[in-house]
Structure 1
């Protein structure tokens, strides 16, 4: 695999909506470890694709919660146009929800005596996704019916064979391939990498995107029901995957409608301190408390336990995630 070395750099600033929590927005410890991003306190790195061209990004915290400011350094080879810079800026603002107005959510959080300490600690965290829709769907497929350790293995072998490696700012960060790169790759070629039935899903999804079956910028503007219908046109995307994508890609906060069995176990511990609580009760209690912000509220509490895991061993959680 060749490494694309990016030596040129241009900077610009973004002023997120206040309050804003940099590290809680740009780093999600519940996500499985991969080679697609890097993070340390106050700094974050990833690649981004604009059209077919790849760039490196370094994003730094230059403000505070009440007066937020971030610096974006764009790394590139050859030249970069103002149009490309504007597109990169727009993608960062959208993907990391930097214009989110969470005033009403923060008011609701204050009324929750039990969990308010968590909401206060993470005040200003935005729901964010580093990746575009195609990349997120590839990650979703690799998470299906697999331990975290297995997902990491499958992600790495696919990146090593079909991804791109960029070197910038002293980092080596990978990017997921373009959908059309798999046009001439057979399903058996993918299966040979020991990713099992997921080969079929990845092959068919890549075909859908290569043929332009969905328009991601348009998707972001649709109401929830219309967006859900568009997503379910894609191969292998059912109601549950669509629900996750509505939150991750479209930043719709009221999508807490289904709870997977493995999530149910973790939610039961988090919300009730019990091994298992009926999924319907968990859903109904959260929706009653948080209404249109139900998924965002769960996101805060969910990520908090994984931040805690960085510094302490939580036995019941380790059994569930099996990294």
Structure 2
């Protein structure tokens, strides 16, 4: 499926009408070096930076996000280099952005680009570990990105539960395709994530049948209701908490267990599951003495002891470089599209 085969729903005659964004504004962001633009915004295996339906071509990324509840289209390209990074962002909106809206947008863009993250300390750590030395060499300048929209991440986390990549992507694509918001700008059409109100209005049975969500449909319905009821924690308050306290707060949400909470937590986690734990055991030479599930806390403790606050960025770097690591260290990565979450 290409990114443009998304407008006509396959089993209905319903056409998703796009929101046209015609007002334009240019923003320039200078991230902390090193920063490689393409590595930072292009993701492996069909995943998107902000949406699976964004488009990257000839060094330019077309994508979108919401400013509060208002959709904005984004056209990003690099105007600098790894050592002196500069990202030019053309913003498309339905109406002119006020000064306050522009300031909030710049803040959000710096956050999702992790433009203020200094990864030099992580690179120093990399020199102590052969695996991290390799990913640093291959992915030098990659910032991993971060979103402050907990609902979007919660939906992602639920689709990742107990499923290989191909299955997770199929569920996520369907949710966007059927219930997301389409925007049109700069001769491109992008789909933004579905909002809680839309998903709350969909019957659980429909989610199960149309998007093959199984037990996850119940979780998504519950999460939508919890968000609308104001029961989701605020990102800023989670940041103020200690990591474990924030994780416990997130695990109060329906369907969010230890694995999913590590994905949502703004504090660095190490979100491994029964698929990925095998790979990390091989990569890190951790002897398997128990079942895959029982090895998860053992590997997490190893990551905390050896990588500390850098464990999440280490996780992301390894995830993005698995094919190279497979060749370098001779590990049995398997088929990323079907075996790995």
Report TM bin, short chain: 0.7 to 0.9
Shift of 1:121: 3.4
Shift, 1:186, TM fit: 2.4
Residue in structure 2 matched with residue 319 of structure 1 by the alignment = 335
Of 7, 27, 50, 1:12 maps to: 27
* RMSD (Å), alpha carbons: 3.0
Aligned residue pairs, count: 314
1:136 paired with 2:149, answer no
CA distance in 1 between partners of 2:245 and 2:299 (Å): 27
User: Residue 111 of structure 1 aligns to a residue in which SS?
Assistant: coil
Partner of 1:196: 214
Measure how far apart 1:139 and its partner are. 1.6
- Checking the alignment, whether the CA contact within 8 Å between 1:29 and 1:307 is kept in structure 2 is no
CA offset at residue 133 of structure 1?
1.3
Q: Is the 8 A contact 1:36 1:47 kept in 2?
A: no
Does residue 127 of the first structure (1) align with residue 140 of the second (2)?
no
Partner of 1:146: 163
Structure 2 partner of 1:71: 88
Q: Which moved more, 1:258-267 or 1:195-204?
A: 258-267
Match of 2:242 among 218, 223, 237: 223
Q: Deviations along 1:123-169, whole A, 9 cap, x unmatched?
A: 33222135721111112212223333333332233223211111222
Aligned partners of 1:189 and 1:103: how far apart in 2? 48
Scaled by the length of structure 1, what TM-score is found? 0.85
Which deviates the most, 276-285 or 11-20? 276-285
**Partner residue, 1:53:** 70
CA spacing shift, 1:169–1:131, aligned 2, 3 Å: farther
| Aligned 8 A contact 1:142 1:154 in 2 | yes
Do structure 1's residue 305 and structure 2's residue 326 form an aligned pair? no
C-alpha displacement of 1:216: 2.8
Q: Is the 8 A contact 2:286 2:299 kept in 1?
A: no
Secondary structure of 1:72 counterpart: strand
Determine helix, strand or coil for the equivalent of 1:75. strand
> Could you say if the C-alpha distance between residues 198 and 298 of structure 1 is closer, same or farther in structure 2, counting changes exceeding 3 Å?
closer
User: Distance in 2 between the 1:37 and 1:170 partners?
Assistant: 13
Change (3 A) 1:131 1:192: farther
- Is contact 2:165-2:336 (8 Å) kept? no
Match of 1:242 among 253, 258, 261: 261
Matching residue of 2:9: none
Unaligned runs of 5+ in 1: none
How far apart are the structure 2 equivalents of 1:219 and 1:45? 30
- The corresponding residue for 2:6 is none
Shift of 1:272: 4.2
Compared CA separation, residues 259 and 168, structure 1 to 2 (3 A) = same
